[in-house]
Structure 1
Amino acid sequence: MKTRLVNIAAGLGVAIACATVVHAGELTDRIASGKSIRIGFANEEPFAFPDSNNQPVGFVNAIALGVLKQMGYNNIETVVTDWGGLIPGLQSGRFDMATGGLYILKSRCESVTFSEPLAKVTDALIVKAGNPKGLTNYGDIATKGAMMVTGIGYSNIEQAKKAGVPETQIMQVPGQTEILAAVEAGRADAGASGYLLSQSVAAKSGGKLEVTDPDAMPESTHNWVSIAFRDSDKDFVEKFNEAQKKYVGTPEMMKAVKAYGYDAKLLPGDKVAEWVCANR
């Protein structure tokens, strides 16, 4: 009987060991073998982009590196790719984390595992200092008969139309330089773009323009930025999320991302990746 118990215990030990091996993902194994953690991103300023020395900068990279440092990882390798290559590159094993500023979307959740959100991004309006017409969202533009300017092909056009803004009140221009010029000259009452881009445009006006509160925009314009991992690395993602929760919003993090326009308005709030996957 004693021999049989020993054999059972030995068998259980083997089973547990095997389960552990199965549970450990590719990234965990890679780290255990002393290899670097490879982060992949495109040239998407201010989210994630390479500096002149090909080092990872941008607020998503800053947060990712800060979290990894909290976890005790400093052996990091940079892989720069194009935007369309982020998820394929992750899946093919070219890199281990996609830090390129990806929105959590249902379609993407079918292919990768996202960390918990690290930023909430939405639209905002660029208006003259003091906001003389009191424009805070697309609904205000529609009801007050204001003229809106945005970039050709920008998603803001669709969002404005959903809120009832007619095409006759939407001016389309090539890009941010023209948006700035139209609002400064009074040809448009408000410029519409993403909050970060709006901040960048307004900053070039020398105080003539300001940016509205992004929280006043429709909920449908809210998206959450995250870091993508392979589905096989869920064990690592769980540990990453624990460290990220302790890091995001701290003075150390806010200092690291300040240069990229990330402020308290971009903190992710209480939405979790599972909810965003189901609702975006």
Structure 2
Amino acid sequence: MTFYSAGMHLIKLLRRPYLLAATLVGLVSVSLAIFVLDMNHEDTLARYQRGQALRVGYAIEEPFAMVEVDGRVTGEAPEVLRHALRSLGRENVVWLQADLASLIHELESGRIDIIAAGMFVTPARAQRVLFTRPTATIQPGLLVRYGNPLHLRSLSHIAAQPTVKLAVIDGSVEQQLAHKAALSEAQIQAFPDAAAAAGAVRTGLADVFMLSFVSLHFLVTRAEAGIFELVAPDTTRDGNFAGLPAFAMRLEDKRLRDAIDNALADFLGSPAHLELMRRFGLLDDNIALAPGISG
């Protein structure tokens, strides 16, 4: 089309207002579609830096993640994440609670952007999510009724007694360890959270509850005296398993993972970090940092 013919075409459009309006609407629609496509190509870090809130998923497991009386989400994972995000220049977060077993699905489906729940790094999980460097090193523990009437000391001991019922949190590393220790399906009872599992031990529906030693210690210190007893598993029988809690995000969010990792590198093990962790009952031994996880 020549410059002359283009000019004549525009003059015809001007003589027909409805055609001009339709043309303008079409141009606006195309521009809007291009803008939306550009937004969809942004990764999570870019959207966060542009002002969009990060949706952070958590599951209740004290002291890693919990809710205060006033509704504020706190615990080891939320507080360390807050510090990391502040170092990125903002702290714009929406907290979303879910069961531990559903958190990775919520992340993959796009309903949350980060998991901050003290989730342990495992090879199977690392196939589905990106983990940051671990924030701590955590040993397992066993919660039994006071006096430990069945003298339970290890998963191997539990497996050898087919009538003993072990409570675990559904989707937890402890559930995987129970399967590896050859406990029968009838012995393993999965619960949505620590409160339900501890309640099962208290009422006799389960004989023992396996979770991180730190979490169980937190629970025992807040329960009535003479209800529960905390046992450190016999590592000569079960092996010296140490859980490595970390933050998790989608596989495509490597830039977000790297940004949080860089912030953690300057914070973990610092005096401020140690002081923060002691508020939640974690000791210096729990903060013996493992090498960062790459992916």
- Shorter chain as normaliser: what TM range? 0.5 to 0.7
Distance in 2 between the 1:76 and 1:59 partners? Answer: 18
Distance in 2 between the 1:257 and 1:73 partners? Answer: 23
In structure 2, which of residues 218, 225, 239 is the aligned counterpart of residue 200 of structure 1? 218
Residue 258 and residue 74 in structure 1: after superposition, are their counterparts in 2 closer, same or farther (change >3 A)? farther
In structure 1, which of residues 179, 182, 185 is the aligned counterpart of residue 201 of structure 2? 179
1:96 aligns with 2:118: no
Amino acid in the other structure paired with 2:94: T
In structure 2, which of residues 82, 93, 105 is the aligned counterpart of residue 77 of structure 1? 93
Amino acid in the other structure paired with 1:124: G
Amino acid in the other structure paired with 1:179: V
The number of aligned residues is 242
Distance in 1 between the 2:151 and 2:49 partners? Answer: 57
Corresponding position of 1:41? 57
Corresponding position of 2:8? none
**Contact 1:37-1:96 within 8 A present in 2 as well:** no
Say which is worse superposed, 202-211 or 40-49, in terms of deviation: 202-211
What is the Cα-based RMSD across aligned positions, in Å? 4.5
Q: How far has the Cα of 1:244 moved from its partner?
A: 0.9
Corresponding position of 2:31? none
In structure 2, which of residues 232, 250, 253 is the aligned counterpart of residue 230 of structure 1? 250
Residues 56-205 of structure 1 mapped to structure 2, 5 A cutoff: 56-69=73-86, 71-83=87-99, 86-126=103-143, 137-138=154-155, 150-151=166-167, 159=177, 175-177=197-199, 179=201, 191-195=208-212, 196-203=214-221, 204=223
**Greater strand fraction, Structure 1 or Structure 2:** 1
Distance in 1 between the 2:218 and 2:261 partners? Answer: 30
Distance in 1 between the 2:216 and 2:267 partners? Answer: 27
Amino acid in the other structure paired with 1:257: M
TM-score, normalized by length of structure 2?
0.59
Amino acid in the other structure paired with 2:45: T
* Unaligned residue ranges in structure 2 (runs of 5+): 1-37, 191-195
Distance in 2 between the 1:152 and 1:127 partners? Answer: 13
Residue 264 and residue 194 in structure 1: after superposition, are their counterparts in 2 closer, same or farther (change >3 A)? farther
1:239 aligns with 2:259: yes
In structure 2, which of residues 37, 46, 57 is the aligned counterpart of residue 29 of structure 1? 46
Corresponding position of 1:269? 289
Q: How far has the Cα of 1:77 moved from its partner?
A: 1.8
1:113-141: per-residue Cα shift (whole Å, max 9, x none)?
1111123334213579999x998644577
Q: How far has the Cα of 1:227 moved from its partner?
A: 1.0
Distance in 1 between the 2:102 and 2:166 partners? Answer: 28
| Identity across matched positions, percent | 18
Distance in 2 between the 1:102 and 1:157 partners? Answer: 13
Q: How far has the Cα of 1:51 moved from its partner?
A: 3.8
* Unaligned residue ranges in structure 1 (runs of 5+): 1-20, 183-187
1:182-215: per-residue Cα shift (whole Å, max 9, x none)?
7xxxxx8xx4521334313432354897644569
Distance in 2 between the 1:49 and 1:266 partners? Answer: 19
Corresponding position of 1:7? none
**Contact 2:55-2:93 within 8 A present in 1 as well:** yes
Corresponding position of 2:5? none
Residue 243 and residue 219 in structure 1: after superposition, are their counterparts in 2 closer, same or farther (change >3 A)? farther
